[in-house]
């Protein structure tokens, strides 16, 4: 847990970090009123800011006489916590809740992970774009080669047609001479 005396330690509420950043995972320990009253299970009710945005009930694990839960901090506003047991008894710090300040910036390790993930995504994206360009180039080359072959084939056919036409023409002239002589 944090080294300094915690704000709510007298109420049996402790959090693993003195400074909480967005993206951090913090461990919440509860040995307060509900635990002392013999609760068999406890849930941390969490939310952010004055309006308790993104409210959630997080089940806590009982380890000896202490309930424990790990929470991923997802908002830059105050982290609010209250506790309830399985029969709906609440510990909400006399309606004041247990609130912890959250710093907007992500911790160095979270920011570093995000940068690495973004770099990998960018690298993968540029590789995909490069592969797509190479595929287009190969397709264009294949079409060009096919078009050249088709042109050569058409030219050969044309030459062949001309030769056939010339032969037919020569044969027709011979036949006409023969007909004239007869």
CATH code of 37's domain: 2.60.40.1930
In a shared domain, residues 130 and 153: yes
pLDDT tens per residue across span 67-109: 999 999 999 999 999 999 999 999 999 999 999 999 987 545 5
Does 81 share its domain with 147? no
The CA-atom distances, in angstroms, between 178 and each of 51, 96, 174, 182 are: 112, 124, 6, 6
User: What total of structural domains would you count in the chain?
Assistant: 2
Q: Does residue 90 form part of some domain?
A: yes
Give the tens place of pLDDT for each residue, 5-47: 688 999 999 999 999 999 999 999 999 999 999 999 999 999 9
Contact 102, 78 (CB under 8 A): yes
pTM for this prediction: 0.57
Same domain, 99 and 17: yes
Same domain, 14 and 48: yes
Q: Is residue 77 part of a domain?
A: yes
pLDDT over 70 at 115, yes or no? no
- Which structural domain, as residue segments, surrounds residue 131? 118-182
Same domain? 150 vs 127: yes
């Amino acid at each position: 847990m944090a080294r300094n005396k915690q704000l709510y330690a007298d109420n049996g509420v402790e959090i693993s970090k003195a400074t909480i950043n967005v993206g951090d995972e913090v461990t919440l320990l509860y040995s307060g009123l509900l635990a002392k009253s013999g609760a068999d299970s406890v849930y941390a009710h969490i939310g952010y800011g004055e309006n308790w945005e993104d409210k959630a009930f997080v089940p806590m694990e009982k380890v000896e006489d202490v309930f424990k839960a790990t929470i991923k901090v997802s908002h830059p506003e105050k982290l609010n916590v209250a506790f309830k047991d399985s029969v709906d008894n609440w510990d909400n710090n006399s309606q004041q809740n247990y609130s912890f300040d959250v710093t907007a910036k992500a911790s160095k390790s979270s920011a570093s992970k995000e940068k690495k993930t973004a770099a990998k995504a960018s690298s993968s994206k540029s590789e995909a774009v490069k592969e797509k360009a190479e595929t287009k180039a190969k397709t264009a080359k294949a079409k060009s080669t096919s078009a050249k072959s088709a042109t050569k084939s058409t030219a050969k056919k044309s030459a062949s047609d001309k030769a056939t036409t010339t032969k037919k023409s020569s044969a027709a002239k011979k036949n006409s001479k023969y007909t004239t002589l007869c």
